[in-house]
Amino acid sequence: MQAPVLVLKDSLNRESGNKVHYGNIQASKAVADIIRTTLGPRSMLKMLLDAAGGIVVTNDGNAILRELDLAHPAAKSMIELSRTQDEEVGDGTTSVIVLAGEMLHVAEAFIDKKYHPTVICQAYNKALEDAISVLDKIAMTVDVKDRATMLGLVKSCIGTKFTGQFGDLIADLAINATTTVGVDLGQGLREVDIKKYIKVEKVPGGQLEDSKVLKGVMFNKDVVAPGKMRRKILNPRIILLDCPLEYKKGENQTNAELLREEDWSVLLKMEEEYIENLCMQILKFKPDLVITEKGLSDLACHYFSKAGVSAIRRLRKTDNNRIAKACGAVIVNRPDELQESDVGTGAGLFEVKKIGDEFFAFVVDCKDPKACTVLLRGASKDLLNEVERNLQDAMSVARNIIKNPKLVPGGGATELTVSAMLKQRSSSIEGIEKVKQ
C-alpha cells in the first residue's frame, strides 16, 4: 500500500474569482475527508507507507497528513493547521481539520449568494472573538496536584486512540514524566520542556505494561572497556565533558622533521604526557564515572581503569544535557576548568544492562531529577511508534494543563453553549455579517 497522493487538479491555466474559491473549498474538504474516519471512539487506524518505505499505522491526524504528497496550496495550508495544533496543543489534530473543512463547506453557501470572501472572514473572526470570551467565562480552574483529576483529563485525550485500551498506563506515564521535568519560575509560572528533557526510549520486546518513567536517564551506550571498568556504581560522582580525551591533531597538515631516531620517542612521550595531564586533572576530583561527547584514547582509558573510574565516550549532546539535569552536574569544556561544584552527585545508581541485543546505561534513582527517560516496551517497532505518538499527545496535554490549569466542560456542553451564545449575539449585529455570525 502506497502513501496516498492527492491530485486535485492538473492545470496550467490561471484561474480567478469564484472558481478559485470553490477549488480551495473542495481541496480542503478532500483533506478533511481523508482523516474523517479516524475521529471518535469507533475510529479506524490507517496503514500508510512513509517516505523511507516504513509502515505507519496510526489514527493521529497530523501523523497521517504529513505523509500526504499534495500539490494544492489550500490543502497544504490545512496540513499546516494540523501541524500547528500538534505543536501547540498536542491533541485535536484530526478535529481541527474536520472542523475547518466543515466551516469552509458552510461558507460555500455564502459564496453562492455572492458574499465577498473578506466579509465572510470578518464575520468568522467576530464569531471567534465571541466564542473565546464565552470559553473564558465557563472555564473552571483545575487543581494540578489532584492526581485523579489530572488522570481523568489526560485519559480523555487518549481514550479514542490506540492506547486507550490499556487504561491508565499511558496517562500515568505522561503525568509522571511532565511533573518530573516541571520547573517553577516563580510568580505562579511553571516551565515544562517535554522536547528537551523527556526522552522516549523504545525497546522492542516485553509487555507494554513493563513501560515506566525512570527517575533519571538511560542511553544506548556501554562503558569503554567492559572488562576493566565497573558496570554498576552506587551513588556515583559524575563528571560530564564536552572535549576529546585524546591527543589533539593539527587542524591543517602538519609536518615534523626528525633528525635523530630518539626524536620519535620524544614526540610519542609528549603525546602521552599531554593525555596523562588531562586525566590527572579529572582524577583529582575522584569521579566514579566520566562521560564525554568526544573521543577517548586507549591511553586515557588505561589511566581511568587503573583509577577504578568508568568512562563513556561519544555521547549525544542532547543525552549529555539530560544527564546534567538529572544528576546536577555541569558540562565542562576543558578539564583544567573543572571545579568541585561541576561534579554531579545527585544520582543514586549507575548501571549498564543488556536489553535484547544492546547495552543500555542507566543513571537512575536521582534525588531531584529535572530530566527523565520514558522506557517503552512492546511487541513490535510499529506498535511502539504508535504508542510513542499517543504518549507525546498525552504529555503535551499534561504540559498545557500544568502551564494553564483551566478546563471547559466536555461531552458537547461547551459547543452547545458557544452555539447558543453566537445565535443570541447575532441578533445584535447589523448588516450582512449578521447571517454569517
DSSP letters along 336-359, please? GG--GGGSB---SEEEEEEETTEE
Q: What is the pLDDT of residue 113?
A: 87
Give the global pTM. 0.84
Identify the band that residue 306 occupies on the pLDDT scale cut at 50, 70 and 90.
Answer: very high
Mean pLDDT of the chain: 87
| pLDDT per residue as tens digits for the range 111-154 | 888 888 888 888 889 889 999 999 999 998 888 888 888 888 88
Identify the band that residue 268 occupies on the pLDDT scale cut at 50, 70 and 90.
Answer: confident
Q: With CA atoms as reference, report the closest residue to 329 among 279, 359, 292.
A: 292
Query: Among residues 58, 60, 292, 373, which one is catalytic?
Result: 60
Identify the band that residue 344 occupies on the pLDDT scale cut at 50, 70 and 90.
Answer: very high
Q: What is the pLDDT of residue 14?
A: 67
Mean pLDDT of 60-85: 89
Q: What is the pLDDT of residue 12?
A: 58
Identify the band that residue 5 occupies on the pLDDT scale cut at 50, 70 and 90.
Answer: low
393 tagged catalytic: yes
| pLDDT per residue as tens digits for the range 175-208 | 999 988 888 777 767 788 888 899 999 999 888 8
β-bridge partners, 290: 239, 311
Domains of the chain with CATH codes: 1-114 (1.10.560.10), 118-139+409-437 (no CATH), 147-215+374-406 (3.30.260.10), 217-248+259-368 (3.50.7.10)
Query: Among residues 38, 58, 94, 163, which one is catalytic?
Result: 94
93 tagged catalytic: yes
Between the CA atoms of 131, 137, 139 and 141, what dihedral angle is there, to the nearest 10 degrees? Answer: 150
Identify the band that residue 166 occupies on the pLDDT scale cut at 50, 70 and 90.
Answer: confident
Mean pLDDT of 46-58: 86
Cβ proximity of 309 and 283 under 8 Å: yes
Q: Which has more pLDDT, 429 or 100?
A: 100
Cβ proximity of 236 and 350 under 8 Å: yes
Cβ proximity of 324 and 344 under 8 Å: yes
DSSP letters along 292-323, please? ESS-B-HHHHHHHHHTT-EEE-S--HHHHHHH
Mean pLDDT of 346-370: 91
| pLDDT per residue as tens digits for the range 241-265 | 999 888 877 677 777 788 888 888 8
Q: Which has more pLDDT, 233 or 271?
A: 233
**Kind and range of the H or E element at 429?**
none
Q: Is residue 71 predicted with pLDDT exceeding 60? A: yes
| pLDDT per residue as tens digits for the range 30-40 | 999 988 888 88
Query: Among residues 93, 178, 180, 373, which one is catalytic?
Result: 93
Residue 91's alpha-carbon distances to 79, 357, 393, 404, in angstroms, are 15, 35, 5, 15
Cβ proximity of 191 and 185 under 8 Å: yes
Identify the band that residue 437 occupies on the pLDDT scale cut at 50, 70 and 90.
Answer: very low
94 tagged catalytic: yes
